[in-house]
Amino acid sequence: MNKRDLVVSLSERLSLTQSQSVEIVNAWEGVLTDALQSGERLTLQGFGTFFCLEPDRADRTQSPNG
């Protein structure tokens, strides 16, 4: 399922327009992105936990060209 499929499914299940569903999906992406960028962990019980891992020190000291 891609973003477009998600929008269509949401609009059908919730009797919303696809424009409204796009707003919901975009808002959700924003909330998730903001939380992860600020180092938070997001847990949806029964679905999963989202978090960012700190890169290894070797990864941080490596030059951009490898």
| Residue linked to tokens 């924003």 | 30
Strands (E), 1-64: 42-44, 48-50
Whole-model pTM: value is 0.70
What is the pLDDT at residue 51? Answer: 87
Other residues' Cβ atoms within 10 Å of the Cβ of residue 7: 20
Owner of token pair 């847990």: 43
Q: Considering the chain, what percentage of its residues have pLDDT values greater than 90?
A: 59
Closest CA to 37 of 24, 51, 47: 51
- pLDDT for position 45: 93
Q: Does 33 have pLDDT greater than 70?
A: yes
pLDDT of residue 66: 54
